Amino acid sequence: MLLSRRWFPKIASVAVVAIGAGCAGDLSTLEPAGPSASAVARLWWAMLMAALLLFLLVVGLFLAIVFAPGIGRRISPESWIVGGGLALPLPILVALTVYAFWLGEHQLRGGGRLPSEMIRIEALATQWNWRFEYPDLPGAPTTLGTVHIPAGRTVEIAVTSDDVVHSLWVPRLGGKIDAVPGHTTYVRLRADTPGRYGGQCSEYCGTGHAGMRFEVLAHSPEDYPAALNDEQRQ
């Protein structure tokens, strides 16, 4: 007992640090660097809070029954089923579902007002690489494994695949979108500040899936053309 009391605070501290480390990093959705990713993080926190409220309510009812066995006898079994199984969780689930669909539509092409300063980039997925082209910048080179974007501007990425289904995802900048052979899908990203942001394929696509990563380099708007020119000279 003495040993467990001595080691419990240390074990708890390690657990807290490990959990906190999992919420940060290059591929963390809980460390957003743009408005789309911030919206996804808010949805995650809202779902977590709703789940915690329901969990605490269930635990509270369980403890009430354990320590006061007769507390719920005045309520009929039908009322418990209707109230606890439908009336309580249904509004929460409906609200979260509506918010999630609204959020998803505003991250895809056609959702909301078209930003006037938006630029377009084309992404082609292959086993197991990403190729990016810049149709709005004549003469810009094709880049492999790296996509250059201007910070503070909305970027619409047109995504397709050359072989199997892949999925483009930059966790700190926005949601994910499937890359489907013969079909083009669209996702909008925006980086608030210049920097490097990790991206990956989030759809299992074969033996090389784990290494199908890429990086997003966000440059200040004035440095953006020069960064692509430097890429061409390399």
pLDDT digits (tens, 9 = 90+) for 2-35: 444 555 454 444 444 445 545 667 788 788 888 8
In a domain, 84, yes or no: yes
Final residue in a domain of this structure, among 74, 107, 140: 107
Dihedral, 73, 51, 167, 234 alpha carbons, nearest 10: -170
Least confident of 10-14, 104-108, 202-206, 209-213: 10-14
Average predicted confidence (pLDDT) for the chain: 82
Asked whether residue 131 carries a pLDDT value surpassing 80, the answer given is: yes
- In-domain check, residue 49: yes
Alpha-carbon torsion (70, 73, 74, 78), positive or negative: positive
Using DSSP's 3-state secondary structure scheme, residue 221 falls into coil
The label of the residue with tokens 């990093």 reads: 25
Whether 206 has a pLDDT exceeding 50, the answer reads: yes
With a threshold of 0.85, does the pTM exceed it?
no
Last residue of a domain, one of 107, 137, 157: 107
| pLDDT given at position 5 | 52
Distance CA 234, CA 215 (A): 17
Supply angle C-alpha 191, 193, 197, rounded to 5: 55
- 188 and 225 together in one domain: yes
Q: Is the pLDDT of residue 171 over 90?
A: yes
Q: Picking from 107-116, 143-152, 203-212, 223-232, which range would have the lowest pLDDT averaged per residue? A: 107-116
Q: Which residue has the higher pLDDT, 172 or 230?
A: 172
- Pick left, alpha or beta for residue 16 (phi over 0 → left; psi -120 to 50 → alpha; otherwise beta): alpha
pLDDT at 134 over 70: yes
Minimum mean pLDDT among 14-23, 30-39, 67-76, 145-154: which range? 14-23
Domain boundary among 79, 107, 135: 107
61/57 Cα distance (integer angstroms): 6
Residue 178 sits in a domain of what CATH number?
2.60.40.420
Find the domain containing 39 and state its range. 27-107
Residue 229 sits in the same domain as residue 124:
yes
* 186 and 220 belong to one structural domain: yes
Residue 48 and residue 144 in one domain: no
> What backbone torsions phi and psi does residue 198 show, to the nearest 5 degrees?
-80, 145
pLDDT at 1 over 50: no
Count of domains for the chain: 2
Q: Decide if 109 contacts 186 (C-beta within 8 A).
A: yes
Pick 79 or 163 by higher pLDDT. 163
Band of pLDDT at residue 111, cut at 50, 70 and 90: very low
* The predicted structure's pLDDT at residue 114: 53
Work out the average pLDDT over 138-147: 89
At 85-100, the pLDDT tens digits run: 788 788 888 888 888 8
